[in-house]
A and B are shown apart, each in its own frame.
Chain A
Amino acid sequence: EAGVTQFPSHSVIEKGQTVTLRCDPISGHDNLYWYRRVMGKEIKFLLHFVKESKQDESGMPNNRFLAERTGGTYSTLKVQPAELEDSGVYFCASSQDLPAGSYQETQYFGPGTRLLVL
Protein backbone atom coordinates (compact mmCIF):
# COMPACT_ATOMS: atom_id res chain seq x y z
CA GLU A 1 0.00 0.00 0.00
CA ALA A 2 1.37 3.41 -0.96
CA GLY A 3 2.06 5.81 1.88
CA VAL A 4 1.43 9.53 2.11
CA THR A 5 3.23 11.34 -0.68
CA GLN A 6 4.16 15.00 -0.89
CA PHE A 7 5.34 17.17 -3.74
CA PRO A 8 7.73 18.86 -4.15
CA SER A 9 10.31 17.47 -1.77
CA HIS A 10 12.14 20.80 -1.75
CA SER A 11 11.23 24.34 -2.79
CA VAL A 12 13.38 27.46 -2.73
CA ILE A 13 11.57 30.70 -3.49
CA GLU A 14 12.04 34.39 -2.97
CA LYS A 15 10.08 36.45 -0.52
CA GLY A 16 6.85 37.60 -2.08
CA GLN A 17 6.50 34.65 -4.42
CA THR A 18 3.81 32.00 -4.30
CA VAL A 19 4.34 28.32 -3.55
CA THR A 20 1.86 25.45 -3.67
CA LEU A 21 2.51 22.24 -1.80
CA ARG A 22 0.65 19.05 -2.59
CA CYS A 23 -0.23 16.06 -0.45
CA ASP A 24 -1.69 12.74 -1.53
CA PRO A 25 -3.00 10.82 1.48
CA ILE A 26 -3.22 7.08 1.84
CA SER A 27 -6.13 5.82 -0.24
CA GLY A 28 -9.32 5.64 1.77
CA HIS A 29 -8.15 7.95 4.54
CA ASP A 30 -10.78 10.60 5.17
CA ASN A 31 -8.66 12.59 7.61
CA LEU A 32 -5.87 14.73 6.25
CA TYR A 33 -3.65 16.99 8.35
CA TRP A 34 -1.04 19.61 7.64
CA TYR A 35 1.78 20.28 10.10
CA ARG A 36 4.90 22.43 10.00
CA ARG A 37 8.28 22.20 11.68
CA VAL A 38 10.29 25.39 11.81
CA MET A 39 14.03 25.53 12.52
CA GLY A 40 14.25 22.20 14.35
CA LYS A 41 11.51 23.10 16.79
CA GLU A 42 8.35 21.18 17.56
CA ILE A 43 6.03 19.99 14.83
CA LYS A 44 3.02 22.31 14.85
CA PHE A 45 -0.49 21.56 13.69
CA LEU A 46 -1.86 23.73 10.90
CA LEU A 47 -5.20 22.27 9.91
CA HIS A 48 -7.33 19.17 9.56
CA PHE A 49 -9.63 18.07 6.75
CA VAL A 50 -12.32 15.44 7.01
CA LYS A 51 -12.92 14.52 3.41
CA GLU A 52 -13.26 17.88 1.66
CA SER A 53 -14.33 19.86 4.73
CA LYS A 54 -12.05 21.84 7.01
CA GLN A 55 -12.59 20.40 10.48
CA ASP A 56 -10.07 22.52 12.32
CA GLU A 57 -7.90 25.30 10.93
CA SER A 58 -6.89 26.79 14.24
CA GLY A 59 -3.19 26.36 13.51
CA MET A 60 -3.08 28.30 10.27
CA PRO A 61 -0.67 31.21 10.87
CA ASN A 62 -2.45 33.88 8.83
CA ASN A 63 -4.45 34.51 5.69
CA ARG A 64 -1.42 34.06 3.46
CA PHE A 65 -1.97 30.35 3.84
CA LEU A 66 -4.76 28.64 1.92
CA ALA A 67 -5.48 24.93 2.07
CA GLU A 68 -7.87 23.06 -0.16
CA ARG A 69 -8.96 19.47 -0.59
CA THR A 70 -11.21 19.36 -3.58
CA GLY A 71 -13.13 16.12 -3.92
CA GLY A 72 -11.77 14.86 -0.64
CA THR A 73 -8.69 13.27 -2.17
CA TYR A 74 -5.40 15.16 -2.45
CA SER A 75 -4.81 18.48 -0.73
CA THR A 76 -2.87 21.61 -1.59
CA LEU A 77 -1.41 24.23 0.69
CA LYS A 78 -0.68 27.55 -0.95
CA VAL A 79 1.45 30.27 0.58
CA GLN A 80 0.93 33.64 -1.05
CA PRO A 81 2.93 35.81 -0.69
CA ALA A 82 5.66 33.86 1.04
CA GLU A 83 7.63 35.48 3.87
CA LEU A 84 10.99 34.54 5.37
CA GLU A 85 9.37 33.07 8.50
CA ASP A 86 7.42 30.60 6.38
CA SER A 87 10.58 28.56 5.86
CA GLY A 88 10.42 25.11 7.36
CA VAL A 89 9.35 21.56 6.68
CA TYR A 90 5.68 21.06 5.87
CA PHE A 91 4.34 17.64 6.72
CA CYS A 92 1.10 16.08 5.63
CA ALA A 93 -0.48 13.20 7.51
CA SER A 94 -3.57 11.08 7.00
CA SER A 95 -5.65 8.69 9.06
CA GLN A 96 -8.76 6.60 8.77
CA ASP A 97 -12.07 7.75 10.13
CA LEU A 98 -13.00 6.55 13.59
CA PRO A 99 -16.20 5.23 15.09
CA ALA A 100 -17.72 7.64 17.59
CA GLY A 101 -16.12 7.33 21.02
CA SER A 102 -12.93 5.76 19.69
CA TYR A 103 -9.49 6.98 20.51
CA GLN A 104 -7.09 8.56 18.12
CA GLU A 105 -6.38 6.66 14.95
CA THR A 106 -2.72 6.55 13.97
CA GLN A 107 -1.66 9.38 11.73
CA TYR A 108 0.71 8.41 8.92
CA PHE A 109 3.08 11.12 7.83
CA GLY A 110 4.52 11.95 4.46
CA PRO A 111 8.23 12.76 3.96
CA GLY A 112 7.58 16.50 4.05
CA THR A 113 8.28 19.44 1.77
CA ARG A 114 11.28 21.53 2.72
CA LEU A 115 10.48 25.16 1.97
CA LEU A 116 13.14 27.85 2.00
CA VAL A 117 12.09 31.45 1.50
CA LEU A 118 14.97 33.79 0.66
Chain B
Amino acid sequence: ETGVTQSPTHLIKTRGQQVTLRCSSQSGHNTVSWYQQALGQGPQFIFQYYREEENGRGNFPPRFSGLQFPNYSSELNVNALELDDSALYLCASSLPGTMRYNEQFFGPGTRLTVL
Protein backbone atom coordinates (compact mmCIF):
# COMPACT_ATOMS: atom_id res chain seq x y z
CA GLU B 1 0.00 0.00 0.00
CA THR B 2 1.50 3.32 -1.09
CA GLY B 3 1.23 6.14 1.40
CA VAL B 4 0.59 9.81 0.78
CA THR B 5 3.34 11.44 -1.24
CA GLN B 6 4.05 15.11 -1.82
CA SER B 7 6.30 17.04 -4.16
CA PRO B 8 8.50 18.91 -4.09
CA THR B 9 10.12 18.40 -0.70
CA HIS B 10 11.46 21.93 -0.46
CA LEU B 11 10.80 25.07 -2.43
CA ILE B 12 12.12 28.61 -2.31
CA LYS B 13 10.14 31.43 -3.92
CA THR B 14 10.13 35.20 -3.78
CA ARG B 15 7.27 37.50 -2.80
CA GLY B 16 4.66 37.92 -5.48
CA GLN B 17 5.42 34.64 -7.23
CA GLN B 18 3.04 31.74 -7.64
CA VAL B 19 3.58 28.16 -6.46
CA THR B 20 2.00 24.76 -7.09
CA LEU B 21 2.36 21.91 -4.64
CA ARG B 22 1.35 18.35 -5.47
CA CYS B 23 -0.05 15.44 -3.51
CA SER B 24 -0.84 11.83 -4.34
CA SER B 25 -3.35 10.27 -1.99
CA GLN B 26 -3.07 6.86 -0.40
CA SER B 27 -4.49 4.05 -2.49
CA GLY B 28 -8.29 3.89 -2.20
CA HIS B 29 -8.65 7.32 -0.59
CA ASN B 30 -10.80 9.81 -2.49
CA THR B 31 -10.70 12.69 -0.01
CA VAL B 32 -7.71 15.02 0.21
CA SER B 33 -7.16 17.81 2.73
CA TRP B 34 -4.46 20.46 2.78
CA TYR B 35 -2.95 22.08 5.87
CA GLN B 36 -0.48 24.87 6.55
CA GLN B 37 1.88 24.34 9.47
CA ALA B 38 3.83 27.44 10.46
CA LEU B 39 6.92 27.02 12.61
CA GLY B 40 5.98 26.14 16.19
CA GLN B 41 2.27 25.83 15.40
CA GLY B 42 -0.19 23.06 14.77
CA PRO B 43 -1.46 22.41 11.24
CA GLN B 44 -4.18 24.83 10.06
CA PHE B 45 -6.87 23.48 7.72
CA ILE B 46 -6.81 25.14 4.29
CA PHE B 47 -9.41 23.15 2.34
CA GLN B 48 -10.59 19.68 1.45
CA TYR B 49 -11.41 18.03 -1.88
CA TYR B 50 -13.82 15.16 -2.36
CA ARG B 51 -14.58 13.72 -5.78
CA GLU B 52 -12.85 16.64 -7.50
CA GLU B 53 -14.87 19.34 -5.73
CA GLU B 54 -13.96 21.62 -2.84
CA ASN B 55 -15.67 20.28 0.25
CA GLY B 56 -14.92 22.73 3.03
CA ARG B 57 -12.50 25.61 3.45
CA GLY B 58 -10.63 27.17 6.34
CA ASN B 59 -9.80 30.84 6.93
CA PHE B 60 -7.48 31.29 3.97
CA PRO B 61 -7.79 33.95 1.24
CA PRO B 62 -8.86 33.10 -2.32
CA ARG B 63 -5.25 33.23 -3.54
CA PHE B 64 -5.05 29.75 -2.00
CA SER B 65 -6.77 27.45 -4.47
CA GLY B 66 -6.75 23.79 -5.28
CA LEU B 67 -7.66 21.04 -7.65
CA GLN B 68 -8.36 17.35 -7.40
CA PHE B 69 -7.93 15.06 -10.38
CA PRO B 70 -9.86 11.91 -11.37
CA ASN B 71 -7.12 9.75 -9.85
CA TYR B 72 -7.67 11.66 -6.55
CA SER B 73 -4.29 13.35 -6.63
CA SER B 74 -4.42 17.03 -5.76
CA GLU B 75 -2.69 20.37 -6.21
CA LEU B 76 -2.47 23.38 -3.95
CA ASN B 77 -1.84 26.67 -5.73
CA VAL B 78 -0.85 29.85 -3.98
CA ASN B 79 -0.76 33.13 -5.92
CA ALA B 80 0.92 36.40 -5.00
CA LEU B 81 3.11 34.80 -2.35
CA GLU B 82 3.67 36.69 0.88
CA LEU B 83 6.43 36.24 3.45
CA ASP B 84 3.90 34.78 5.92
CA ASP B 85 3.16 31.95 3.49
CA SER B 86 6.48 30.39 4.51
CA ALA B 87 5.47 27.13 6.19
CA LEU B 88 5.26 23.36 5.90
CA TYR B 89 2.31 22.41 3.69
CA LEU B 90 0.78 19.07 4.54
CA CYS B 91 -1.52 16.94 2.47
CA ALA B 92 -3.69 14.26 4.06
CA SER B 93 -5.96 11.68 2.50
CA SER B 94 -8.82 9.74 3.99
CA LEU B 95 -11.50 7.23 3.12
CA PRO B 96 -15.01 8.38 2.23
CA GLY B 97 -17.62 8.42 4.94
CA THR B 98 -18.55 10.56 7.89
CA MET B 99 -15.69 13.03 8.14
CA ARG B 100 -15.71 13.25 11.89
CA TYR B 101 -14.73 9.61 12.20
CA ASN B 102 -12.12 9.44 9.50
CA GLU B 103 -8.47 9.03 10.29
CA GLN B 104 -6.40 11.23 8.02
CA PHE B 105 -3.13 9.90 6.64
CA PHE B 106 -0.51 12.58 6.20
CA GLY B 107 2.23 13.05 3.67
CA PRO B 108 5.74 14.28 4.55
CA GLY B 109 4.95 17.85 3.58
CA THR B 110 6.47 20.49 1.34
CA ARG B 111 8.61 23.12 3.04
CA LEU B 112 7.95 26.47 1.32
CA THR B 113 10.22 29.43 1.98
CA VAL B 114 9.20 32.83 0.65
CA LEU B 115 11.98 35.42 0.47
Note whether A and B form a binding pair: no
Q: Which residues of B contact A (CB under 8 A)?
A: none
